[in-house]
Amino acid sequence: MTVTQESPRTYEVRTYGCQMNVHDSERLSGLLEGAGYVAVTEGETADVVVFNTCAVRENADNRLYGNLGHLRPAKVRNPRMQIAVGGCLAQKDQGEIVRKAPWVDVVFGTHNIGSLPVLLERARIEGEAQVELKESLEVFPSTLPTRRESAYAAWVAISVGCNNTCTFCIVPSLRGKEKDRRPGDVLAEVRTLVDQGVLEVTLLGQNVNTYGVEFGDRLAFGKLLRACGDVEGLERVRFTSPHPAAFTDDVIAAMAETPNVMHQLHMPLQSGSDRVLKAMRRSYRAERYLGIIERVRAAMPDAAISTDIIVGFPGETEDDFQATLDVVRESRFANAFTFQYSIRPGTPAATMDDQIPKEVVQERYERLVALQEEISWAENKKQVGRTLEILVAEGEGRKDEATRRLSGRAPDNRLVHFAVGEETPRPGDMVTVEVTYAAPHHLVADGAVRELRRTRAGDAWQARVAPQPSGVLLGMPTIGRPATSPSSSGCSAR
């Protein structure tokens, strides 16, 4: 009698929203691979599809239910298929998801992502949907196994949750109060990552600079930055996103004095109007925000600063909007992530009077974008002629008929497309180039590469893409890569 061994079940994780969700999704992938699942081949439908959802982005629920509807015929065709929904929208809607989409097998929340493999197996055995949502964090996500997207750059979560009460934001009710990891645990993870070839880490938290509040050290974040400077082999350290109200001068000093901490700051503004900031429950005012920028630039004249801005918050007048434009002009942001305010059920702002008409919000948004494009382009033009060391990223860069380019990030996180010579660098390698052209959102270096530095990170990438023996899971247990843009770790609401 011949026994046929059943092939491993395939999985796919679809991620929506912020960097914290990307971080969690890499852990979900690690958990599934540790349970024997394998990543689905591109273009095929997986046996298990996991949606890691966002409750902050506009039309998040419509997008989820639309995608669930598209999968329903595939589930009918494949009896082995299972669908799981996790993340912030799952935490918010809970049992509503199974009511609206009864073909969903598992619903889990932001506090119990480690339960996914067990819930999938229980749903398979019992033949009914499993809904499990915890009200507080079970296990800090960074302790879970991980399948990282990148061999050369990684997220390191130092805290989860948020203690603020911004009126436009639902994140605190979904992620809970801030929970901090101990510095020793963070640094041990960073060292493990470096041992695996990682050159760059991004420290991640909903309000990353309030790190230490749980164990009573208000200077803990600056100390952590300096400690990262002592990790041999770690070349670049970034962080996202700090809250202006908690931004202290010791952090500026740590950034300026620690060689591997990059001179890049993403600090959400949200509005330049003090009246609107008060309505948002943002515990700082424009003068404080501008003061931080002034001190950062005094310590690091080459710093690239970016931000988040919300246009059309309830009650925003034309004068309020002009105040935002004034702060943008003075701040000279390298780039800005701009959002049109829209109602988020469950937030105080959703029931405020004076909701701004859509056409007014749109018109203001277009004026803000036009101003920031002008500033970004002018700031990027200042980079022309500079020599920069670029960390090469995965994927091709911009192309034309005459030049093949790859892409990477400068120390200040600007995107650079550079011409490739006879020797092709690998993702994770470093190249030194001269900037020859500037656009609003990227730089171009079309001259010869001045130096190509092969790195351990490039070696790690090469080992990852090489054929691997069956059953080998690369990159475990570690953390996911930083996003290519520095937008907020929780939402537009930091």
Binding-site residues from annotation: 18, 54, 88, 162, 166, 169
User: Rounded to whole angstroms, how far apart are CA atoms 29 and 13?
Assistant: 7
Residue 12 sits at φ, ψ, to 5 deg, of: -145, 135
Pair type for strands 304-311 and 200-204: unpaired
The answer to whether the CB of 434 falls within 8 A of the CB of 386 is yes
Q: What stretches of 2-56 show up as alpha helix (H) in DSSP?
A: 19-34
The answer to whether the CB of 51 falls within 8 A of the CB of 84 is yes
User: Rounded to whole angstroms, how far apart are CA atoms 227 and 254?
Assistant: 10
The answer to whether the CB of 371 falls within 8 A of the CB of 325 is yes
- Owner of token pair 């497309």: 417
Tokens of 257: 């004095």
- Owner of token pair 């239910």: 65
Burial of 459 (0-12, 13-18, 19+ CB in 10 A): middle
Residue 443 sits at φ, ψ, to 5 deg, of: -115, 160
Q: Annotated binding site for [4Fe-4S] cluster: which residue ranges?
A: 18, 54, 88, 162, 166, 169
Residue 155 three-state SS: strand
The answer to whether the CB of 433 falls within 8 A of the CB of 418 is yes
Tokens of 85: 């929904």
274, containing H or E segment: helix 274-279
User: Rounded to whole angstroms, how far apart are CA atoms 309 and 369?
Assistant: 10
The answer to whether the CB of 241 falls within 8 A of the CB of 218 is no
290, containing H or E segment: helix 286-299
Pair type for strands 443-445 and 437-438: antiparallel
Q: Closest Cα partner for 110 from 164, 161, 166?
A: 161
Residue 227 sits at φ, ψ, to 5 deg, of: -65, -35
User: Rounded to whole angstroms, how far apart are CA atoms 401 and 405?
Assistant: 11
